[in-house]
């Protein structure tokens, strides 16, 4: 196929379709680039920067940067692992992430990335911010203590559910996810089976009355690091 | 040369991490062959006797006594290890960190639905250690060499960590032993 693009990632030659991002091309080639705000089926957002790679020496977010011929991409380097660790550390200390009683523990992408990076404690002091919990909806709740502002619920609600239930309000440290009703989530047309609920990488947006159904030891990230399904898919071929 | 000395303590914790240490089952027989225990709830010794090789600290710092004990451990332990989520991030006790201290006291001693307190006084006896403004992770109070996350860290995690240090290996936990729950 003549229109395939050829590039290298960590010294390995891979191919990409025109228009594919570095992250997508890498995934197809069995190379996992860590990510949080990116999700298959949603538009790219480029906000978490966890997928930052070096492209011809320059830092770029792999989820937004299209693959181009001859690109030299660095992904799994000491420098980038440390950068990603810092980002994950900051997400932990700027929220209130109590994994020990969180229903999402073992299935949480933020926690799973920390596991994959071998983080035993964040390197920054904890902030313990005041955040709100909205349990007004009969089927789902929003716990902003666990929100990392990835915007996956915002995009999933717009792009997949066609509902516009969630949106960002505020700036900087005051930024948060708001819902499309003054009375809270219960006043919106959100439903428990919405893609927006499933899109949350942490325990910030959860379905009620289904927590802790999967026993410890059988959860998604109990034995296999996040991303290993992508790496294994390649090695089995 | 004597055996390496190990001291353990629980600050603002629930002793769950100590229970996990007991959960190493029959390996505890090997452990007492390998080390001598200094101050620890396991032998009920209340004071550190001198220099210690490894100090295991469960729980974060919620009051002035926790800080004092932690500082003593730091002073006497060659290697200090935060054991469990409370020591590492404050854990469950740190849920009060989002509530002003005065409100916590009011709820606990005056306004709570199950409170019986005819004197209407918040306890302030000098025997009671003063609460800190919030619960602090141990590494925000003193330098800590290693962290063993988990609520509690599994017996295997504690066993692996102790063995690595006793054998002079670097303490790098495998994937399945790093858990936050």
Model confidence at A31, in pLDDT bands (50, 70, 90)? very high
Cβ–Cβ below 8 Å for B137 and A121 = yes
Cβ–Cβ below 8 Å for A98 and B95 = yes
Question: Is the separation of the CB atoms in A220 and A106 below 8 Å?
Answer: yes
Q: Is the dihedral of CA A80, A81, A86, A90 positive or negative?
A: positive
CA B139 to each of CA A53, B6, B58, B65, B114: distance values in angstroms, whole numbers, following the listed order? 31, 19, 12, 16, 36
DSSP code for A61: E
pLDDT at residue B110 tops 60: yes
Q: Is residue B36 part of a domain?
A: yes
Query: How many residues in total does chain B contain?
Result: 181
Residue B16 sits in a domain of what CATH number?
A: 3.40.50.700
Cβ–Cβ below 8 Å for B175 and A116 = yes
Identify all chain B residues contacting A105, using CB atoms and an 8 Å cutoff.
180-181
Cβ–Cβ below 8 Å for B140 and A125 = yes
Q: Which residue of A has its CA nearest to B180?
A: A99
Q: Is residue B125 part of a domain?
A: no
**Phi and psi at residue A22, in whole multiples of 5°?**
-60, -40
User: What is the three-class DSSP state of A205?
Assistant: strand
Identify all chain B residues contacting A116, using CB atoms and an 8 Å cutoff.
175
Q: Is residue B16 part of a domain?
A: yes
- Residue for token pair 């670097």: B170
What local confidence, expressed as pLDDT, does residue A237 receive? 55
Distance from CA of A100 to the nearest CA of B (A): 4
What local confidence, expressed as pLDDT, does residue A3 receive? 85
The tokens for A50 are 């966890």
Maximum separation of any 2 CA atoms in chain A, in Å: 56
What local confidence, expressed as pLDDT, does residue B1 receive? 62
Q: What is the mean pLDDT of chain B?
A: 96
Q: Is residue B116 part of a domain?
A: no
Residues A214-226 pLDDT 10s:
999 999 999 999 9
Model confidence at B2, in pLDDT bands (50, 70, 90)? confident
Residues A38-74 pLDDT 10s:
999 999 999 999 999 999 999 999 999 999 999 999 9
* CA atoms of A23 and A8, how far apart (whole Å): 12
Residues A12-31 have a mean pLDDT of: 97
Q: What is the domain range of residue B79? A: 5-97+132-177
Q: Which domains does chain A have, with CATH numbers?
A: 5-76 (3.10.20.740), 84-207 (3.30.70.20)
Q: Which of A89, A93, A100 to probe the B interface (max B CBs under 10 A)?
A: A100
Model confidence at B170, in pLDDT bands (50, 70, 90)? confident
User: What is the three-class DSSP state of B53?
Assistant: strand
Q: Is residue B167 part of a domain?
A: yes
pLDDT at residue A127 tops 60: yes
Residues A155-184 have a mean pLDDT of: 96
What local confidence, expressed as pLDDT, does residue A236 receive? 62
Given B82, B85, B175, which is nearest A115 (Cβ)? B175
What local confidence, expressed as pLDDT, does residue A235 receive? 65
Q: Which residue of B has its CA nearest to A101?
A: B181
Q: Is residue B92 part of a domain?
A: yes
Given A102, A128, A216, which is nearest B98 (Cβ)? A128
Sheet architecture: strand order including A133-134: A133-134, A140-143, A205-207
Cβ–Cβ below 8 Å for B149 and A121 = yes
Beta strands in chain A, from DSSP E residues, in sequence order: 5-9, 12-16, 52-55, 58-61, 72-74, 133-134, 140-143, 166-169, 176-179, 205-207
Residues B81-100 pLDDT 10s:
999 999 999 999 999 999 99
| Interface list for chain A against chain B, based on CB atoms closer than 8 Å | 92, 96-102, 105-106, 111, 114-116, 118-122, 125-126, 128-131, 216, 222-223, 225
Residues B116-132 pLDDT 10s:
999 999 999 999 999 99
Cβ–Cβ below 8 Å for B180 and A118 = no
Identify all chain B residues contacting A104, using CB atoms and an 8 Å cutoff.
none
* CA atoms of A184 and A213, how far apart (whole Å): 27
What local confidence, expressed as pLDDT, does residue A2 receive? 58
Q: Is residue B105 part of a domain?
A: no
Radius of gyration of chain B (CA): 18
Cβ–Cβ below 8 Å for A100 and B95 = no
Q: In chain A, pLDDT over 90 holds for what percent of residues?
A: 96
Q: Is residue B126 part of a domain?
A: no
A119 Cβ contact list (under 8 Å, min separation 6)? A85, A88, A89, B178
Cβ–Cβ below 8 Å for B180 and A122 = no
What local confidence, expressed as pLDDT, does residue A42 receive? 98
Domain count, chain B: 1
| Interface list for chain B against chain A, based on CB atoms closer than 8 Å | 82, 85, 88-92, 94-95, 97-98, 134, 137, 139-140, 146-149, 151, 172-173, 175-176, 178-181
Identify all chain A residues contacting B97, using CB atoms and an 8 Å cutoff.
126, 128
What local confidence, expressed as pLDDT, does residue A30 receive? 97
What local confidence, expressed as pLDDT, does residue A16 receive? 97
């Amino acid at each position: 196929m003549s229109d395939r693009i050829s590039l290298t990632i960590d010294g390995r030659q891979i191919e990409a379709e025109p228009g594919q991002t570095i992250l997508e091309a890498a995934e197809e080639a069995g190379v996992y680039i860590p990510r949080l705000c990116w999700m298959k089926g949603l538009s790219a957002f480029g906000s978490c920067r966890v997928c930052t790679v070096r492209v011809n020496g320059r830092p770029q977010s792999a989820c937004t940067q299209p693959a181009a011929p001859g690109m030299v991409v660095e992904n799994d380097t000491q420098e980038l692992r440390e950068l990603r660790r810092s980002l994950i550390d900051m997400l932990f200390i700027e929220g209130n992430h109590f994994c020990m009683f969180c229903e999402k523990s073992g299935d949480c992408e933020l926690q799973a990335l920390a596991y994959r990076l071998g983080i035993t404690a964040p390197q920054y002091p904890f902030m313990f911010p005041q955040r709100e919990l909205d349990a007004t909806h009969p089927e789902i709740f929003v716990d902003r203590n666990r929100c990392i502002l990835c915007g996956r619920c915002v995009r999933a609600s717009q792009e997949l559910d066609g509902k516009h239930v969630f949106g960002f309000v505020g700036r900087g440290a005051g930024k948060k996810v708001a819902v499309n009703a003054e009375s809270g989530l219960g006043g919106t047309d959100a439903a428990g089976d919405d893609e927006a609920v499933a899109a949350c990488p942490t325990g910030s947006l959860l379905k009620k009355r289904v927590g802790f159904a999967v026993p410890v030891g059988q959860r998604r990230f109990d034995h296999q690091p996040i991303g290993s399904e992508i790496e294994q898919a390649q090695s089995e071929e | 040369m004597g055996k390496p000395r190990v001291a353990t303590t629980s600050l603002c914790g629930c002793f769950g991490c100590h229970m996990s240490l007991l959960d190493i089952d029959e390996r505890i027989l090997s452990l007492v062959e390998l080390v001598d225990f200094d101050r620890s709830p396991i032998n009920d010794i209340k004071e550190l006797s001198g220099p210690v090789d490894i100090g295991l600290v469960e729980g974060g710092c919620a009051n002035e006594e926790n800080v004092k004990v932690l500082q003593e451990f730091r002073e006497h332990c060659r290697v200090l290890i935060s054991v469990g989520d409370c020591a590492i991030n404050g854990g469950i006790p740190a849920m009060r960190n989002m509530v002003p201290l005065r409100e916590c006291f009011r709820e606990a001693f005056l306004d709570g639905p199950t409170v019986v307190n005819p004197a209407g006084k918040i306890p302030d006896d000098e025997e009671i250690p003063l609460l800190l403004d919030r619960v602090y992770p141990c590494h925000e109070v003193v330098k800590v060499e290693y962290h063993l996350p988990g609520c509690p860290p599994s017996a295997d995690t504690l066993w692996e960590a102790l063995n690595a240090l006793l054998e002079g290996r670097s303490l790098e936990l495998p994937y399945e032993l790093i858990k936050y729950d």
